[in-house]
């Protein structure tokens, strides 16, 4: 079965640079979520999209922005990168935006900021 695809899998950036992470949800899933997992931490919700519109925001810094495109893929844009942004970034998708619907996670993008 098709899964959530994230690219790139690994990314190394310098401080103050920008980064773009991409997420391709499972086909027919119209809801995308982004999470950040710091070293030894649990995943923290950043932002979500439903039917190409932003749904909810969590602990996402103002330096980050995201959008969902017409083909339902999503991109997380990160600017003015800081050392503390080094983390594993997960994208998850679900069929609909509903409490009962399972979120399926991608393999993650490991971002290292030097």
Partner 1 sequence: AQSVAQPEDQVNVAEGNPLTVKCTYSVSGNPYLFWYVQYPNRGLQFLLKYITGDNLVKGSYGFEAEFNKSQTSFHLKKPSALVSDSALYFCAVWWNAGNMLTFGGGTRLMVKP
Residues that bind partner 1 (CB under 8 A): 4, 33, 41-45, 48, 55-56, 58, 90, 92, 97, 99-100, 102-108, 110
Cβ of residue 98: shortest distance to partner 1, in angstroms? 9
| 11 or 97: CB nearest partner 1 | 97
| 52 or 110: CB nearest partner 1 | 110
Distance between CA atoms of 83 and 55, rounded to whole angstroms?
28
- Tokens standing for residue 30: 């119209």
């Amino acid at each position: 079965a098709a899964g959530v695809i994230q690219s790139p899998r690994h990314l190394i950036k310098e401080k103050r640079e920008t980064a773009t992470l991409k997420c391709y949800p499972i086909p027919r899933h119209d809801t995308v979520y982004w999470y950040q997992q710091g070293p030894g931490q649990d995943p923290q919700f950043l932002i979500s999209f439903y039917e190409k519109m932003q749904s909810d925001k969590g602990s996402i810094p103002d330096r980050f922005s995201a959008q969902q495109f017409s083909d339902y893929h999503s991109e997380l844009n990160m600017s003015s990168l800081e050392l503390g942004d080094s983390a594993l970034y997960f994208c998850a998708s679900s069929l609909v935006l509903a409490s009962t619907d399972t979120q399926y996670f991608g393999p993650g993008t490991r971002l290292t900021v030097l």
